[in-house]
Homo-oligomer: A and B are copies of this chain.
Amino acid sequence: MNVERLNVIREVLSSSPVASQDELRRKLRRRGIQVTQATLSRDIHQLRVSKGPGGYSLPNGHAAPAEEDDQAPSVVEMMNSFGLRVVQAMNQVVLSTVMGGAQPVAAALDRAEWPQIVGTIAGDDTVLVICGDARQAAEVGTRLRSMLEP
């Protein structure tokens, strides 16, 4: 299973700076894991790792390995239809929609009952999503953003 490898990757990334996927590949090889850069690219995407100055870094709140989770079909639909922009601020996520789209999106979010979401407030074209803390808001923001039109 590749879960083992993902765990090692997390460990490597958190213990020393890694500048490229090829460097990561060499470090993994030293630990007995031998894969190609292509696979690491996929792993990194799956782990939702981000790259900035100073190399790769794990997501702020380390979420579990790969939780490609449950279908929130309704939310996806609403986001696709109305969603424009997602911005996180502290423990909140501000979700901009086309005019009149906020209410249905908020309703869909309420129905979905994501565990991170404490509640939502909808205006005409903006939904304020209140989460338990900043980490949870980041998760929600990422997830919502991934539902926007590419």
Contacts and interface: CB of A to CB of B under 8 A. Distances in A.
B131 A130 contact: no
A118 B91 contact: no
A131 B120 CA distance: 17
Contacts of A84: 16
A133 B89 CA distance: 7
B52 A49 contact: yes
A54 B145 contact: yes
A14 B145 CA distance: 13
A35 interface: no
B53 A130 contact: no
Interface of A: 14-17, 19, 45, 48-55, 57, 59-60, 84-87, 89-92, 94, 96, 106, 118-124, 126, 128, 130-133, 141-142, 145-146, 148, 150
30 contacts: A14-B87, A15-B85, A17-B85, A45-B53, A48-B52, A49-B52, A50-B50, A50-B57, A51-B51, A53-B142, A54-B145, A54-B146, A60-B60, A87-B119, A89-B131, A89-B132, A89-B133, A90-B91, A90-B133, A92-B130, A94-B119, A94-B130, A106-B123, A119-B128, A121-B121, A121-B123, A121-B128, A122-B123, A123-B123, A128-B130
